[in-house]
Amino acid sequence: MAGLQRNVGSFFDSVRLSVSPLRFGAGVKGKINQSMAFGVPVVATSIAVEGMNLIDQQDVVVADEPDDFARALIELYESEELWKRLSQNGISKTQELYSTDAAREKLEFLFSDRHLKSLKPSQSITEPAFMRLCRDHINRASEAGDAPRWQYAIIDDRIRVYEGKPQRYGTQLRYGADGLEPHPLENEGRVNSMRMQAGLPPLAQTLRQARLQPAPLGDPKVREAAEVEFRRSVGWSH
């Protein structure tokens, strides 16, 4: 264990490769991206690189069984040709997909009139990896004072609901048997404090305003079951 690294650049300059032997997980793995961005190739399981658009033997080395993983480590460590290919491609791939410039270009397109006019309802739900990447960028921007915190609260809650996890800020609502209600909360006692810190009104006020809207037709349980199945089908959960 290397412990706290105050200068990760110096750390990556001192290592030849990184390993990511994950057996379960979801979403973009930031440590894999970070290693690749510094030109340090990665040996990873298929779960570790799932949803990251990385190609075995071109961007990373993928192995799942213990013996295969060990052989991959040795091959990457000893092969100068393989190491250089993965190092160069790793830098290019992270710049292409996960850099600030790439995120800015994608966001500019997503908020353009041309894209917004072409959208079907909830189309962004079909891009889990990109939504998680946007959340990371919005979080950093809001912490630096470059974006309002409520933007992070909304996207964080939405992703948590899509993943089947409790939300933190209570921004995501649903129709239950007794009418409009928030999706499950991580900490009901702290939700208004969290909302205040994010610049959101009290949850009760939001609910009062939202309940003025007419309820959609159909059985809420049937509608929610269909939404859960759709989220699973596009990769939010397994």
pLDDT in tens, 132-155: 888 898 898 888 888 889 999 999
pLDDT in tens, 190-229: 999 999 999 999 999 998 888 887 777 777 777 778 878 8
Confidence class of residue 118 from pLDDT cuts 50, 70 and 90?
A: low
Q: State how far the alpha carbon of 150 is from the alpha carbons of 106, 170, 204, 206, in Å.
A: 21, 11, 17, 14
* Residue 17 shares a structural domain with residue 127: no
Tally of structural domains, the chain = 2
Counting Cβ atoms within 10 Å, is residue 112 exposed (0-12), middle (13-18) or buried (19+)? exposed
- Domain carrying residue 174: 100-233
Contact partners, residue 95, CB within 8 Å, separation at least 6: 37, 101, 102
Task: With H, G, I as helix, E, B as strand and everything else as coil, classify residue 62.
Answer: strand
Last residue of a domain, one of 68, 97, 126: 97
Q: What is the pLDDT of residue 67?
A: 94
DSSP for 182-234? EPPBS-GGGHHHHHHHTT---HHHHHHHHTTSPPPSS-HHHHHHHHHHHHHHT
Q: What is the pLDDT of residue 121?
A: 44
**CATH at 56:** 3.40.50.2000
218 and 112 housed in the same domain: yes
pLDDT at 119 over 60: no
197 and 155 together in one domain:
yes
CA contacts within 13 A on the Cβ side of 236: 20
Structure tokens at 119: 């959208």
Q: What is the pLDDT of residue 171?
A: 93
Q: Token pair of 13, please? A: 């300059």
Helix axes 80-97 and 30-37, enclosed angle (nearest 10): 120
Residues 89 and 143 in one domain: no
Q: What is the pLDDT of residues 63-105, one digit of tens each?
A: 999 999 999 999 999 999 999 999 999 999 888 887 777 777 7
**Do both 149 and 215 map to the same domain?**
yes
Sequence-distant (≥ 6) Cβ neighbours of residue 124 within 8 angstroms? 110, 131
Q: Are residues 92 and 106 in the same domain?
A: no
The closest alpha carbon to 153, from 170, 165, 137, 166, belongs to 170
What predicted TM-score, i.e. pTM, was given to this entire model? 0.49
Is residue 3, in this structure, part of any structural domain at all?
A: no
When the pLDDT of each residue in the chain is averaged and rounded to a whole number, the result is: 84
**CB-based contact 41:49 (threshold 8 Å):** no
For 106, counting Cβ atoms within 10 Å of its Cβ (0-12 exposed, 13-18 middle, 19+ buried), the class is middle
> Are 145 and 204 members of one domain?
yes
Confidence of residue 58 (pLDDT cuts 50, 70, 90): very high
Q: Is residue 109 scored above 80 in pLDDT?
A: no
The answer to whether the CB of 210 falls within 8 A of the CB of 200 is no
